[in-house]
Amino acid sequence: MEAEQNSRLLKTGRLVNDGIFIRLKQLKNSQEYNIRTFRQQPVHEISGAFGDLGTLLPILIAYTDGDRYPGPGIDLSSTLVFTGLFNILTGLLFDIPLPVQPMKAIAAVALSRFFNKEEVASAGLFVAAVVGFLSITRLLEWFNRKIPVPVIKGIQVGVGLSLITYGGNVFVKPEEFQYDCPGLATLLRILSCFGLFSSNAFRSLPYALIFLFFGILFALPSIIDHRTALSIWHPRAFVPSPSAFQHGIDAGLGQIPLTVLNSIIAVSALSADLLPNVPTPSPTAIGLSVTGMNLLSCWFGSMPVCHGSGGLAAQYRFGARSGASVIFLGLIKLLLGLFAGRFAKQVFRGIPNAILGIMVIAAGLELANVGETLNTIEAKDLARAEDGVASGSPSEDQPNSRGLTLEWRKRRWTTMLITIGGILAFKNDAVGFIAGMLCHWSYQLHDRHLSWRSRREGRIRLDDDERGP
């Protein structure tokens, strides 16, 4: 008996050692890929690093804007330090330019209700706890398997179109230049549009760097006018009160479906679409990443964050192809947060809305483009069916891309469009998801009804034949 227990312990030890060895080898391969990619295209990796600023900066500025937001809801220096660290860690752990973005549903509630730091932190901690539970129990993997591809694509396209709408609203917002120059805002909008259109034809140019350069150029008068001194980060931890948690849970409830659908499942699917030659992070790995980021940072007044398909599309659009790009961005954020938080605030507030808006629009266009692969072999369910045909074991319930009939194509397009419509009409990912799933289930119910009728009619004909004339 004792010998058997020792044998089991030895086997367990070997399995643990093998698992550690495999993980270390994966990390080594990740770093080799990051270094190789950065050496091959350093300018594009750096350009892609800043591709997500259009969605990050407006929310970051709104949270810390003392003119309209009393009390600020977050600590800017803490946010820069922690999001910088998380950028570096995600770049090291994953091979893709995985973004670190604000939780938008929480931001919407917090900004409208003027939440303080404790209430914002409580919302982030609540979402982290729920996502952590779903990750540890592997329910995220189950959701990922059960959600049909047309619904996932619908979420991606719907979020992309929502980003385009949001970017358009930012784009047309009045500019607040430090100097009076009639027609400058109009000229800036025209040049920004020209840059967007040019990016489709000349993808080799680092457009995010160009946009950022002009943005900082316009921010210079604000920087010079305020002459903000460097400031060292002094971390201050706090524990939210029970009343703060009550408000935080209320704000976090609306964030959970957005995080699960757009920040985890859609990100995993999008990374496979955009970077098929790079290992795709699993929903569980992304979920644990979201959990860890918020459980570590929210106690210090940092903004609740997640990963997002819009941010990944933005960084890919502007040139990022590896984790090296977000490592570079993380180093910039970390240095700003540690030594120049106030200075960073003036720079961020001085970047024109036209430039931020056009970057968001570009991200939305890139994300919405993934819908075109719905009925091709690039869709993961059709790719699996295609592999089944190649191996001699085709799927019975799902045709492959070559055998996709017109009826199947219409069904998939309809399911995707209904998902998109729900997201755009109600401005809620969860509503779009439910609408898409109901459409998918209605088709399944229709097929089962036809199958039942066919079997029933077959039995009736068989009984008639047995009775004879």
Are 365 and 164 in contact by the 8 Å Cβ rule? The answer is: yes
* Dist CA 306 CA 388 (whole Å): 35
Q: Residue 266 contacts by C-beta under 8 Å, 6 or more apart in sequence?
A: 152, 155, 156, 159, 309
Alpha carbon 333 to its chain centroid, in Å, reads 19
Are 406 and 182 in contact by the 8 Å Cβ rule? The answer is: no
pLDDT at site 410: 92
Q: Residue 64 contacts by C-beta under 8 Å, 6 or more apart in sequence?
A: 72, 73, 74, 76, 345
pLDDT at site 393: 43
- pTM reported for the whole predicted model: 0.83
Radius of gyration of the chain from Cα atoms?
25
pLDDT at site 57: 86
Query: 340 - beta bridge partners?
Result: 231
Q: Is 358 exposed, middle or buried (0-12, 13-18, 19+ CB in 10 A)?
A: buried
306 DSSP 8-state letter: E
Are 266 and 155 in contact by the 8 Å Cβ rule? The answer is: yes
Q: Which residue has the tokens 């068989």?
A: 462
Tens-binned pLDDT, residue by residue, of the chain (469 aa)? 555 655 554 555 454 444 566 667 778 888 889 999 999 999 999 999 999 888 888 888 888 865 555 566 799 999 999 999 999 999 999 889 999 999 988 888 888 788 889 999 999 999 999 999 999 999 999 988 889 999 999 998 998 899 899 889 889 988 877 666 778 888 899 999 998 888 777 777 788 888 888 888 888 877 776 666 677 899 999 999 999 999 899 889 889 988 999 899 999 999 988 998 888 899 999 999 999 999 999 999 999 999 988 899 999 999 999 999 999 999 999 999 999 888 888 888 888 889 989 988 988 888 888 888 888 877 777 766 655 544 444 444 555 555 578 888 899 999 999 999 999 998 888 899 999 999 999 999 999 988 888 877 766 554 555 555 5
Q: Residue 127 contacts by C-beta under 8 Å, 6 or more apart in sequence?
A: 103, 106, 252, 255, 256, 259, 290, 294, 304, 306
Tokens of 181: 């120059």
